[in-house]
Structure 1
Amino acid sequence: MITYVSEQIYVFLTTLYGGIIIGFIYDLYRILRCIFKPKKIATIIEDLIFWIVIAIIAVHVLLFSNDGQLRFYVFLGFLIGAILYNRILSRFVIRGILILLNKLKSLLMKLLRIILFPIKIIKKFFVMLFCPLKKKFSPLYLRMKRLFLMVKIWYRDMVKYTKFMRNKK
């Protein structure tokens, strides 16, 4: 099969682009692993999913560009694309994604504060309502607590002594 140089250049540039996409997905994977800090089994599952996604992308790029033919320049294109992405774009993409995630986090926190505001108001109302009652009944509560503690100690001692008496016979 005769392949022209222009077709080979097209395939090389397409695989270069595929390498850049693979590098981007690897950065996303690194960010997710840094955020969630998975355990050993979750890491194995995540690695498997990562490699399946990378394989799907590589196969798609190969089928799209040259009907799945494997040549040396195809592997070279993927490798050079991933290295170029890692050296040139990776820092900016990671910073951008982290800025985006921080903005999203602050937006969600503001939304959560807005949602929880009525609950805080209701809580303050009940605290103001029951605070005088708490002061009034606090001494009674402490006395009852001591009384129940004494009953508990008395019961525990009785169980201990009955066991002791049974073992003596």
Structure 2
Amino acid sequence: MKRLVMKVRTVLAVVAGSLLVLVAACGGRGDDDGTPTPAVTAALPGPSPTVPPTPTAAMSLEDEILAAYLGYWDLYTEAVLNLDESPVAKVASDEEVQRVREEIRELRRQGVALRVVIEHSPVVLEASATSAVVFDEMTNNSFYVDPETRKPPSAPGSGETLKDTFFLEKVDGQWVVIRSVRQN
């Protein structure tokens, strides 16, 4: 412990000394005569760390999964508004498409469509290169609309909290929602 304290004090002393040298080199007295002042650099003792460049184009696995999950929701939103499950078929398993199909069948039976208004809070619980589990505690303000006119464009929602778990798998290089489970 004493060694750690001594090392911290030494580093702080070197940093403080370096700052004093930099302040003195910069002047700061307002008597600048236009003559360039040579740059002064101070190095901490020991090897200087090199920071590898971070890739800007590559998404993390978690970001990739969340993007696919939210993309699924965009297509689900389209499906229940237009009463057509085909958009979901692009990003969901047969089992999940069947679940959406049954939901659409019930909406048709009621003579309505659904305008989805959801505030997501997704969390990746598990992730590997081929499978993932996403938990989402959502605030639901969705509302029913006329299936032909799709009106009203806005309405107050219930604000109910939904807690769903989604299971995803990577199929042919694309994340697919395999199934979803609603918690009570």
Bin the TM-score by the shorter chain: under 0.3
- Greater percentage in strand: 2
- Greater percentage in helix: 1
Structure having the higher Rg = 1
- Structure with greater contact order relative to length (CA < 8 Å, sep ≥ 6): 1
**What is the TM-score when the length of structure 2 is the normalising length?**
0.24
